[in-house]
Structure 1
Amino acid sequence: MRVEGAERMSNRVMNLGDLLTDAARRHPDRPAVVHGERIVSWAQMNARVDAFAHAMAGLGIGPGDKVIVQSRNSVEMFETMFAVYKLGAVWVPTNFRILPDDVSHVASSSQAKAIIYEPEFAAHADAARDAGAQIVICIGEARAGEHVHADLVAAEFGKPFRSAPVERDDPCWFFFTSGSTGKPKAAVLSHGQMAFVITNHLADLMPGTTSDDASLVVAPLSHGAGIHQLIQVARCVTTVLTVSRSLDADEAFRLIERHRVSNMFTVPSILTALVGDPAVDRYDHSSLRHVIYAGAPMLREHQKTALRKLGRCLVQYFGLGEVTGNITVLPPHLHDPEDGPGVRVGTCGYARTGMQIEIQDGEGNPLPPLENGEICVIGPAVFNGYYRNEKANAESFRNGWFRTGDIGHFDENGFLFITGRASDMFISGGSNIYPLEVEEKIVAHPAVAEACVVGMPDEKWGEIGVAAIVLQPGAEITPEQLKADLASRIAGYKIPKRFVVFDELPRSGYGKITKKAVRELLESRLAEEPVLEGAR
């Protein structure tokens, strides 16, 4: 039963920008962001954000307008999130590594009204303007016809800004997908949805987080790390930004020791690089309580190494940008550095609070435990659909369930195991092969540091598995030796027919090894050499 007259009011929710307003009231003088020697307090950050919001409103940016941000991590980049939110506008951050043509697509598909950029990305700003963005703001020295971010802030500094009223489904963030199967799509994240995500992350991923904590950023704020830092603001947690333009393990561990960092968000490849660096043994990292990794499965051998180096502070979550990571959680006490009875090796955890997962067949029917199918999910964290893309929406939703495109199964106790992406699966000799299982087995060999398996065309088998691998420093192994090792641990038809060694594997802007890029790399090598070289 609905109360008469309440329908119009019932959808009103908090504007997420006011998380910063509240933090500034509660802890005005405490550090909000630390970037090198620069420390910005909560009061200073909120004042700067309010000033920028006033300035953007004066330029004609208001509720519902899309604002692209093309920038590396910085205080200013982080502040743009809250200024845009307070306006009731939509934050559209990009992976700073993308090309100007990619920004053109982002601008046109999102119908962006403005772009905020750093000077090194001038060509990206031009592309956005050519695609329809009318307002250009530079975090640095602007060109003719553009606005200088610092000048806009200075002109309005000291004026409090009242956040725009918003409803639950009002968009606040266009989270662009990676585009591994086509052009990136804008997943619409809303104020109400993200309020649930914040609460859920604090409950499931970082319980007990308070203003006495500190969080280190080692990934771009444009995607998962941005969600993580939004949650830190909700608890008045200091955010520490690295200065290095690429991952620097020594800097990361030095900052962890100096600021007594208690939590951080990362992806498996970054975490593996951090714990594999000698710096892990040079600094005190005992303050770490929640080292959260997501974005891709973490190979078991890499997981063991991280646990042995950092202790049982690892937290895994599984999710997509469309569900803002809010599908499963594997908390620290369920991470074990050793295999043995009762240890669930390979699981990404159980369903997050308030979320429901179902394994479905091709027709949408639920499957029993231990049977592989598509992982589908419903709950308050599921996004509002893709912006202006009805085809993608029709393909991604079925009977109310969001279809992740990932394949997996439950065990008898409700723990989820991912076997791979539906798009990654290939068929060799009539048998379905999911690369993740094979990659796990390859990397378990002490000579192998990384592995990526893809299906490649073959006249006899239709497709065959080809493994791109990176060896441990100084290691040597032949394809025959590796195949012999695999033969005792995996079915013969799953063993890759060919292996090729690379010094490194291509990664996305967020540190993940991408199948698409690896396949292109292998195709290029095949064009040069009809038979792939074996592992040395």
Structure 2
Amino acid sequence: MAVQQQQEQQQENAYVSWHTLIEDYAKSQPDKVFIESLDQGKRITFREMNEWCNRVANFLKARGLTPSDKVTLIGKNSIESMIIYFGTLKYGSILNPIFAEESEENIYRIVNLAQTSLILYDSDLHLDKGKRPSAQWISFSEFFGNEAAEGELWELLRDQPATFDGHLGDARDAGLIVYTSGTTELPKGILISRDALFCMVDEISERMGITEKDRVLEYRAYNWLSSTLLTILTSMMRGNTLFLAKKFSRSRFPDWVKKHDITVSSGVPAVFSMLVNEPVPLTRGDIPNLRFMTSSSAPLPVETHLKFEEMYGIPINQAMGMSEAGWMVGNPPAKRKMGSVGLPLKHKEVFFLNEDGDRCKPGEVGEMVVKGRAMGSCYLKGDGSTDVFSKEGFATGDLGYMDEEGYVHITGRKKDLIIRGGINISPMEITSRLLEHPAVAEAATVGAPDKIYGEEVVCFAAKKDGFEISEEELIAHCKTTLPDFKAPKKIIFIKTLPRNQRGKVAKKDLLKLLEG
């Protein structure tokens, strides 16, 4: 199938398997670089990726895996991890990706939750054999382009045929397991069907305007659904080149985007905050083809957004998603709205419900609900059963509203609301005010237990290098625009805010500091 026919099918919302996409690009643009690993200094073309995926598929077939079997991948952002990643998708079993930086305890808990029988893991991980769940564990090292390659998986792959015709299953079968960011003790596992996964990639790549000419930079973990959809799978769906780094590096970022002529880069609020507070040598003239950076995973303060664009001249394009639903809304690059996370994507219906359960009018704040074809199917349970999502819609827990033009604005999280004397207070409002002060690098707001009001507003703030400000001065700054009942009762200065692996502020850790 030609590339043009693929794109026409995608526009018509017709499901195309990853097996077909990988095969077709291997034929239509065999020598084009698909992935360049910035840490390994290696490149793999579409033809080479297809051949290695076929070896993985034949290896899985030889083990008798079915569409309902799960293959766990534990690795880092490397070409070898991507070969296993796409090889599993091409074969047709369920991919269960775990990033190597996950704790050993959580790795075992996730393996048990998924009830997987085959685990392919990076040999750099030193996992205690005595603690491993009962399953087949096979290690892999850097085998692509390595004449001296060794390791268990390499021994099993090297003699496998480089062609494969036995794709399993259909669009309705589960294709991927993703996990929430861990706000609960154990991240929740979510099953996504192949059709839903296809639609998730189709809608976000279309909204962001990604084409085969793009050169996309990704440094977030491959098991985040945001990176899975926006960069990794999009690059196979659209036929562009992906530049992959193991993690973000402030010092290397300018060289990455300049040397490789990056056109689209991923981003998270923590990265933008870092680049604003610790500037790097990078100007718009250095990177004329960088169209935009994306921002997701956590709210991006307007102050940080404006300052970053002022300093570097790089547009930030905000979008929003969650593990249960993929990307839900996103700003069209040509029609961005500052402070908004964008318009609903084409396979999604997004609306807000008030406390009475009625749909909100434009501008009315309520809880966000999303439904549609591009949604996760269910939560996995430890006993092997599932908790199926309602077809009526998934309540995200986010508070916000839709304006007259259909753009979505987020005002906070329902569970994070501070209830002071019966009045709801949004932590985001107070945090945004703190960040307007030139001495504040980053900030967060929580509700602390209070005997009189039930909860009281307490803030944590990190000062910029070379700046000094007192707690009293910062509280006074807040009171210039906030009513007294919203102004922080206490501000605690901290060197840096604790964050989880996805860059979200770990508010539980902040509350522990209060208790201590």
Report deviation, 1:360. 0.8
From 502, 507, 511, the equivalent of 1:515 is 507
Unaligned runs of 5+ in 2: 1-12, 144-149
Q: Any conservation in 1 of the 2:430–2:487 contact (CA below 8 Å)?
A: yes
Residue 530 of structure 1 aligns with which residue? none
CA distance in 2, matches of 1:309, 1:27: 38
From 91, 104, 108, the equivalent of 2:108 is 104
The alpha-carbon distance between structure 1 residues 273 and 297, as it changes in their structure 2 partners (threshold 3 A), is same
Residue identity in the other structure for 1:197: M
Structure 1 SS opposite 2:43: strand
1:42-81 matched pairs, under 5 angstroms: 42-81=46-85
Q: Any conservation in 2 of the 1:427–1:462 contact (CA below 8 Å)?
A: yes
CA distance in 2, matches of 1:458, 1:330: 40
CA distance in 2, matches of 1:392, 1:448: 45
Residue 401 of structure 2 aligns with which residue? 409
Residue identity in the other structure for 2:105: D
1:274-285 matched pairs, under 5 angstroms: 274-281=275-282, 284-285=286-287
CA distance in 2, matches of 1:308, 1:351: 28
Unaligned runs of 5+ in 1: 1-10, 336-343, 528-536
1:209-258 CA-to-partner distances (Å, cap 9, x unmatched) read: 3333211112111112122211011122111122xx54212322212111
From 139, 153, 172, the equivalent of 2:157 is 153
Residue 383 of structure 1 aligns with which residue? 376
From 80, 88, 93, the equivalent of 2:97 is 93
Matched, 1:225 2:227: yes
Matched, 1:14 2:16: yes
Residue identity in the other structure for 2:83: E
1:184-223 matched pairs, under 5 angstroms: 184-205=187-208, 207=209, 209-223=210-224
Report deviation, 1:140. 5.9
1:15-34 matched pairs, under 5 angstroms: 15-34=17-36
From 153, 172, 177, the equivalent of 2:175 is 172
Structure 2 SS opposite 1:255: helix
1:489-523 CA-to-partner distances (Å, cap 9, x unmatched) read: 12221222111111111111122222223323x23
Residue 5 of structure 1 aligns with which residue? none
CA distance in 2, matches of 1:333, 1:12: 26
CA RMSD for the aligned pairs?
A: 2.5
Structure 1 SS opposite 2:350: strand
From 285, 303, 319, the equivalent of 1:317 is 319
After alignment, is 36-45 or 468-477 more displaced?
Answer: 36-45
Residue 248 of structure 1 aligns with which residue? 249
Residue 489 of structure 2 aligns with which residue? 497
Structure 2 SS opposite 1:309: helix
CA distance in 1, matches of 2:482, 2:385: 39
Residue 439 of structure 1 aligns with which residue? 431
Runs (4 or more) in structure 1 with deviation over 4 Å come to 124-127, 389-394
Q: Any conservation in 1 of the 2:80–2:142 contact (CA below 8 Å)?
A: no
Residue identity in the other structure for 1:188: L
Report deviation, 1:75. 0.6
Q: Any conservation in 2 of the 1:265–1:291 contact (CA below 8 Å)?
A: yes
Residue 122 of structure 1 aligns with which residue? 126
CA distance in 1, matches of 2:119, 2:201: 27
Q: Any conservation in 2 of the 1:408–1:419 contact (CA below 8 Å)?
A: yes
Q: Any conservation in 1 of the 2:138–2:153 contact (CA below 8 Å)?
A: no
CA distance in 2, matches of 1:64, 1:135: 19
Q: Any conservation in 1 of the 2:93–2:168 contact (CA below 8 Å)?
A: no
Residue 532 of structure 1 aligns with which residue? none
The alpha-carbon distance between structure 1 residues 392 and 298, as it changes in their structure 2 partners (threshold 3 A), is farther
1:88-117 CA-to-partner distances (Å, cap 9, x unmatched) read: 111111243221221122111111112121
Report deviation, 1:281. 2.1
CA distance in 2, matches of 1:286, 1:135: 46
Matched, 1:273 2:277: no
Residue 350 of structure 2 aligns with which residue? 357
Report deviation, 1:300. 0.6
The alpha-carbon distance between structure 1 residues 196 and 35, as it changes in their structure 2 partners (threshold 3 A), is same
CA distance in 2, matches of 1:112, 1:18: 26
The sequence identity of aligned pairs, in percent, is 25
Residue 531 of structure 1 aligns with which residue? none
Residue 424 of structure 1 aligns with which residue? 416
After alignment, is 379-388 or 298-307 more displaced?
Answer: 379-388
Report deviation, 1:152. 2.4
After alignment, is 214-223 or 308-317 more displaced?
Answer: 308-317
Residue identity in the other structure for 2:440: V
1:335-354 matched pairs, under 5 angstroms: 335=336, 345-354=338-347
Structure 1 SS opposite 2:251: helix
TM-score (norm 1): 0.86
CA distance in 1, matches of 2:484, 2:99: 40
Report deviation, 1:159. 2.6
CA distance in 2, matches of 1:290, 1:124: 43
CA distance in 2, matches of 1:256, 1:164: 37
Report deviation, 1:363. 4.9
Q: Any conservation in 2 of the 1:119–1:140 contact (CA below 8 Å)?
A: no
Structure 2 SS opposite 1:492: coil
Report deviation, 1:277. 4.1
Q: Any conservation in 2 of the 1:470–1:505 contact (CA below 8 Å)?
A: yes
Structure 1 SS opposite 2:342: strand
Residue identity in the other structure for 1:368: K
